[in-house]
Amino acid sequence: MSKEEFMKIQTCVLKVNIHCDGCKQKVKKILHKIEGVFTTKIDAEQGKVTVSGNVDPSVLIKKLLKSEPTQLGQSVQSHANRPRRQRWWKQ
């Protein structure tokens, strides 16, 4: 890592609703696939995800919003009560 890259590293804290270990693992997997993410720390009890790296926070938000079990700043229904997603080809 060059000195310029080191200077660009930032820490971003996102509010995320995580209600099970499966969701926690999925969030971690999604975030680590993003280029520039170095570390993640997920605190499910406080609803926070701390991400360090050389990455635009809007990219993190966009990727997490695409994931079904985790939504930023919104409550999440339990897996059992959540309605099935409608597929566009079955409408």
> Over the chain, what is the mean pLDDT?
75
CATH architecture of 3-74: 2-Layer Sandwich (3.30)
Say which residue, 23 or 37, is predicted with more confidence. 37
Do the beta carbons of residue 9 and residue 53 sit within 8 Å? yes
Return the structure tokens found at 90: 């079955």
pLDDT at 18 over 70: yes
Give pLDDT tens digits for 26-69.
Answer: 889 999 999 999 999 999 889 889 999 998 888 988 888 887 65
Cβ atoms within 10 Å, residue 42 = 19
What is the domain partition of the chain in residue ranges?
3-74
Do the beta carbons of residue 79 and residue 88 sit within 8 Å? no
pTM: 0.66
Q: CA 56, CA 59: separation in Å to the nearest integer?
A: 5
Q: Whose CA is closest to 68, among 23, 15, 34?
A: 23
